[in-house]
Amino acid sequence: MNQRTSGSAKRSMQVRVSAEMRQRIIKGDIEPGAPLSELALAEEFGVSRTPVREALKQLQTEGLVEIRPRVGTFVTTPSRREITELFEMKELLEGAAARLLAQRGRVTEIDRLEGNLREADAAVARDDRERYAQLVQEFHDLLILGADNSKLEAHYRTLMNQLAYPRLVNTSLSQPGRALQSDREHHLVLELILEKDGDSAERVMREHVRASRRALLAGLPISSSNASIGTASP
């Protein structure tokens, strides 16, 4: 066989290709708008064009790439408006997750959220931005998992993929004082969840998402719609 990269030789080629490309797009290794040639990808992964095609097709329905018939495949570049819409959905889903989690009572995710906040406090105290960014992501993740609704989780994941969120979090937290305030808001949300006050938890969570969105957009260049978003890379 071909030079099997890593050990994941068991899963089908197509799954490997789509997973790899998804990660690259989300992490920003590939510029938005960049063209993706089937042939080039096939050669790079050491497979034929068929599995590459199927992988790209899947990424298209996930909203990560755009296939222009007979022209080419390109990484999607969300417009300013689409970003607004995506954040509106994020607010919606995370708010709902907070409500649902509050209704469930004490479950394991709650314990993990408490642990997460303890670590986050420490990270903020020593101004460790990188670690805090990780913990923020984990906090929101635990919230979604705690909602115990697989459909909500699935929609949330595709949403976050379209936002290419990992690239954005750092920008948001680079605003002065944002980390501390964000941490406080997380505490408040968890508190309300513990009190089983679903309505308030949802409301506060939505406000939190709006606040983080403002902080994020404030840190972005005023790019006229399309200029790629802060591609400061390793």
Inter-residue contact 113 to 190 (CB < 8 Å): yes
Using CB under 7 A, which of 4, 31, 39, 127 touches DNA? 39
HEC per residue, 177-196 = CHHHHHHHHHHHHHHHHHCC
**Residue in 51, 78, 95, 146 binding DNA, rule: CB under 7 A:** 51
Assigned token pair, 12: 């089908």
Per the listing, tokens 């006229």 go with 224
Asked if residue 229 binds DNA (CB under 7 A), the reply is no
Binding of a copy of itself by 66 (CB under 8 A): no
Size of residue set near DNA by CB under 7 A: 23
Output the 3-class SS for 117-133. HHHHHHHHHCCCHHHHH
Which of 13, 5, 6 has its CA nearest to residue 55? Answer: 13
Q: Are 67 and 76 in contact (CB under 8 A)?
A: no
Residue 185 interacts with a copy of itself (CB under 8 A)? Answer: no
Task: Report if residue 218 touches DNA, rule: CB under 7 A.
Answer: no
Of the pair 135, 204, the CB lying nearest a copy of itself is at: 204
Residues 137, 18: Cα–Cα separation, whole Å: 23
Q: Among residues 2 and 61, whose Cβ is nearest to a copy of itself?
A: 61
Among 22, 53, 104, 210, binds a copy of itself (CB under 8 A): 53
Residue ranges binding a copy of itself (CB under 8 A): 12, 50, 53-54, 57-58, 61-63, 69, 82, 85-86, 88-89, 92-93, 96, 100, 149-152, 154-155, 159, 162
Residue ranges binding DNA (CB under 7 A): 2, 12-14, 35-39, 47-51, 53-54, 67-73
